[in-house]
Amino acid sequence: MLSLPRAWQVGQGAGVTVAVVENGVEADLGDLRGQVLHGYDLTGHNPLGQHEKAAPGTDKFGHGTDMAVLIAGTGRGAGMKGVAPKAKILPVAVGRNAQGAFEDPAIAKGIRWAVDHGADIVNLSLGGPGPCTPLLGDAIAYAYRHDVIVVASAADTPGAVEAPANCPGAIAVGGVDSAFKPWVDTPTGPEVDFVAPSFNLVNEELDGTLRGPSPKAAGTSQAAALVSGTFALLRAKFPHDTARQIVTRALYNVHNGLGASKVGQRINDTLGYGEILPYYALTTTPPRGFGNPIYDRFARELSSSSSGPSPAPASSAPSSGPAAASSSPATSATSSDSGGVSSGLVAAIVVVALLVLGGILFALRRRSRTS
């Protein structure tokens, strides 16, 4: 489905940074050499996040490293090429506790650090059962406010979508096999947005050897990494588009099993809106008026949450369509009978000034990302 060689003729993710919030990423791995930036370490023993110890219960498998290879592997080592082989990886080492779990405070701090240090996309191939916690929710809302796309693995259980994938503002990714059938352990829930291959994959070990294809090489962690790589291709090709516009383009270019007339419509709570087709997303522009129910949902959820952001600025709305028309509803100001400048007019002037300033800051930030 991914047809990556065809997509690579259009673009390979150059100029885009994907943060991998994990145990760290092994920068010396052949397929990642030159791809891994200086990152962040919250563990106290992983300088710059550029190393990784084997995952619990394995002798040479590094989960964060494997996700990074799926996103941006070059193929110049063991031969594993990621979805966006010219993107850069920003490693954020958050580590595990004594029980082998990642902890919310470290994940949240890592997300915020990645946003503040140039990440265009944050990949979260991790999680645990339960609802979105305030710490995780605030961190993902922070990324949303800064126009950073957060991609999270939905879970590796057929139950509910887990945190942080169930946090408003995170794009939750489930898993399918090569026949577009749900992977046996993919979750179900209204938070699932997209799916990607998650079964019978190839993993790259920390010693540079390849394992698979194997039924054991499976999980929505891998599916999320593939989607992060796809968004890297799109952000590189369309560097001036907002996160919302990028996701709109993805929504319009999916395999959904229902036909072209149903594109943009939710399939069900297991498959979300379908599997993104990278080549078509790179080359086919949504028609005027095509909506984005994913970001519409984020805006509703985050605006109604006491810990969420205010509605997204005008610069993050799509350039056309009903979603754009409704994102900034007009409000009428009533003049005072006492004469002079009305409070409504003053408020309107302040709002316009803030929007102009916000647009300037947004343009400067996008320019710094792509320079």
User: What does the DSSP assignment read for 24-82?
Assistant: ---TTSGGGTTTBPP-EESSSSSGGG---PPPTT-SS--HHHHHHHHHH-BSSSSS-B-
pLDDT of 111 > 90? The answer is yes
Mean pLDDT value of segment 197-220: 89
How high is the pLDDT of residue 74? 98
**Does the N-terminal peptide bond of residue 164 adopt cis geometry, omega within 30 degrees of 0?**
yes
Please check the confidence at residue 278 and state whether its pLDDT lies above 80.
Answer: yes
Task: Characterize 106-119 residue by residue with b for buried, 16 or more Cβ atoms within 10 angstroms of its Cβ, and e for exposed.
Answer: bbbbbbbbbbeebb
- Per-residue pLDDT, 243: 98
Q: Which residues contact 257 (CB under 8 A, 6 or more apart)?
A: 180, 267, 271, 274
Q: How far apart are CA 347 and CA 194, in angstroms?
A: 40
Residue with tokens 């941006």: 72
pLDDT beyond 50 at 120: yes
What is the C-alpha separation between 199 and 202, in angstroms, rounded? 9
| DSSP tag of 148 | -
The region of weakest confidence among 204-208, 236-240, 271-275, 318-322 is 318-322
Give the C-alpha separation, 72 to 35, whole Å. Answer: 7
H-assigned helices in 117-219: 134-145
Digit-coded pLDDT (tens) for 324-364: 333 232 333 323 333 333 333 333 333 334 443 444 444 44
pLDDT at 318 over 90: no
Peptide bond into 213 cis (omega under 30): yes
How do beta strands 275-276 and 149-153 pair? Answer: unpaired
Residue 195 and residue 176 in contact, taking contact as beta carbons nearer than 8 Å:
yes
* Contact between residue 48 and residue 41 where contact means Cβ atoms under 8 Å apart: yes
Per-residue pLDDT of 13-52, as tens digits, reads 999 999 999 999 999 999 999 999 999 999 988 999 999 9
